């Protein structure tokens, strides 16, 4: 661990900036310290799909790969803790614990990706929005212990409507419409465009279409 410390250096990125472009050579790996970043893929004609959301403690880059496979973009101001790749890889071989931790994290990301595949392939626009909100809530809950005995929840959306659309495989107009519809139906309340109140979490989860029991499985 002290060895890792010796390798690291910090880097800051402003909101909206792209950290790496798909296809770029990457000579470092990194871990998010603060802020939120997104992984996305873009087709020739401009259609884009987000394929991952990176939160503090998440890992950027893949050991053993030269070029980046996705665009990595900062959605908020970001602080990265970087390691030059070669030394990191060597350290990983000598220190099994690091690899084990990476395996854990990668398996979690794989689960998240697969949950997202169900959303993209089979859920309606309304269910997609509800699911996204539920996921953001779950994440918030696990970070800051903000649950007040199952009462009302509120939070800020860290994403624009366009980013939500790219995440959900929708257009931004559809996102806007469905958010309005959920508001009209009393599932959510909009304090401002980005600040949302959930009067009844169970109701939201029902709209999300998940087969979960409704508990917050942190």
Partner DNA sequence: CGCTATATTGATTGGTGTCAACGGGAGTGG
Partner DNA sequence: CCACTCCCGTTGACACCAATCAATATAGCG
Sites of contact with a second copy (CB under 8 A)? 39, 41-45, 47-49, 51-52, 62, 64, 69-70, 93, 96, 99-100, 102-104, 106-107, 109-111, 113-118, 120-122, 168-169, 209-211
> What is the rounded distance in angstroms from the CA atom of residue 26 to the CA atom of residue 66?
6
Which of the stretches 84-92, 136-144, 146-154, 190-198 binds DNA when contact is defined by CB under 7 A?
190-198
Beta bridge partners of 79: 12, 34
Which of DNA, a second copy, none does residue 48 bind (CB under 5 to 8 Å by kind)?
A: a second copy
* Contacting residues for 94 by C-beta, under 8 A, at least 6 apart: none
Tell the smallest beta-carbon distance from residue 196 to DNA (Å): 10
Torsion of CA 83, 159, 164, 203, to 10 degrees: 120
Which of DNA, a second copy, none does residue 103 bind (CB under 5 to 8 Å by kind)?
A: a second copy
> What is the rounded distance in angstroms from the CA atom of residue 187 to the CA atom of residue 129?
11
- Could you say which residues in the range 124-183 bind DNA, by CB under 7 A? 124-126, 160-162, 169-177, 179-180
194 lies in the site for DNA, by CB under 7 A: yes
Q: How is residue 104 written in tokens?
A: 């854990």
Phi, psi angles (nearest 5°) of residue 159? -125, 150
Tell the smallest beta-carbon distance from residue 154 to a second copy (Å): 28
Which of a second copy, DNA, none does residue 173 bind (CB under 5 to 8 Å by kind)?
A: DNA
Measured from the Cβ of residue 164, the count of other Cβ atoms closer than 10 Å reads: 23
Beta carbons of 73 and 19 less than 8 angstroms apart = yes
Tell the smallest beta-carbon distance from residue 169 to a second copy (Å): 3
Which of a second copy, DNA, none does residue 38 bind (CB under 5 to 8 Å by kind)?
A: none
């Amino acid at each position: 661990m002290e060895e890792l410390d010796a390798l690291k250096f910090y880097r800051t990125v402003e909101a909206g900036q792209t950290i790496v472009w798909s296809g770029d050579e990457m000579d470092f790996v990194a871990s998010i310290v603060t802020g939120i970043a997104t992984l996305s893929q873009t087709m020739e004609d401009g259609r884009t799909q987000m394929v991952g959301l990176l939160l503090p403690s998440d890992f950027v880059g893949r050991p053993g790969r030269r070029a980046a496979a996705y665009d990595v973009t900062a959605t908020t101001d970001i602080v990265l803790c970087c390691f030059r790749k070669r030394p990191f890889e060597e350290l990983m071989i000598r220190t099994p614990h690091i690899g084990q931790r990476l395996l854990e994290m990668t398996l979690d990301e794989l689960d998240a990706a697969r949950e997202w595949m169900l959303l993209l392939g089979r859920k309606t626009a309304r269910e997609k929005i509800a699911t996204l909100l539920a996921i953001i809530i779950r994440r918030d809950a696990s970070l800051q212990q903000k649950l007040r005995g199952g009462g009302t929840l509120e939070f800020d959306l860290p994403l624009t409507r366009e980013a939500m659309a790219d995440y959900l495989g929708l257009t931004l107009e559809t996102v806007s419409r469905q958010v309005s519809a959920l508001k009209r139906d009393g599932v959510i309340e909009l304090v401002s465009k980005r600040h949302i109140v959930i009067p009844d979490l169970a109701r939201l989860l029902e709209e999300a279409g998940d087969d979960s029991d409704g508990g917050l499985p942190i």
